[in-house]
Amino acid sequence: MPDTNTSDFQERFYISSDGLRLYARDYRPDAAATAGRLPVVCLPGLTRNTRDFHPLALLLSRDRTAPRRVIALDSRGRGNSAWDENKANYNLAAEAGDVIAACVELGVERAIFIGTSRGGLILHLIAAARPDLLEAVILNDIGPAIEVQGLMQIRDYLNGNRKPADWKEAAAILKEIHGASFAALKEQDWHEMALALYRDSSGRPVADFDPAIAEALKSVDFNQPLPDLWAQFDRLSRLPLLLIRGANSPLLSKEIADEMARRHSGLILHIAEEQGHAPFLHLGAIPAAVQAFLADCR
The answer for residues whose C-beta is within 8 angstroms of residue 85's C-beta and 6 or more apart is: none
Dihedral (CA of 12, 15, 16, 21) sign:
positive
CATH 3.40.50.1820 assigned to 6-150+227-295:
yes
As a whole number, mean pLDDT of residues 97-117 equals 98
Q: With 50 as the cut, is the pLDDT of residue 1 above it?
A: no
What is the Rg, in whole angstroms, of the alpha carbon atoms belonging to the chain? 18
pLDDT band per the 50, 70, 90 thresholds, residue 5: low
Task: Return the closest-CA partner of residue 244 out of 288, 289, 196, 283.
Answer: 289
**What pairs with residue 11 in β-bridges?**
25
pLDDT tens, 144-196? 999 999 999 999 999 987 899 999 999 999 999 999 999 999 999 999 999 99
Dihedral (CA of 8, 11, 16, 20) sign:
positive
Q: Domain boundaries in the chain?
A: 6-150+227-295
3-state helix, strand, coil in the chain (%, to 5): 40, 20, 40
Query: For residue 187, which amino acid is it?
Result: E
Task: Return the closest-CA partner of residue 295 out of 38, 28, 27.
Answer: 38
Q: With 50 as the cut, is the pLDDT of residue 3 above it?
A: no
Query: Which regions of 130-281 does DSSP assign to beta strands (E)?
Result: 134-140, 198-201, 204-207, 241-246, 268-272
- Check whether the bond before 278 is cis (ω within 30° of 0): yes
From the DSSP assignment, how many helices (H) and strands (E) are in the chain? 10, 10
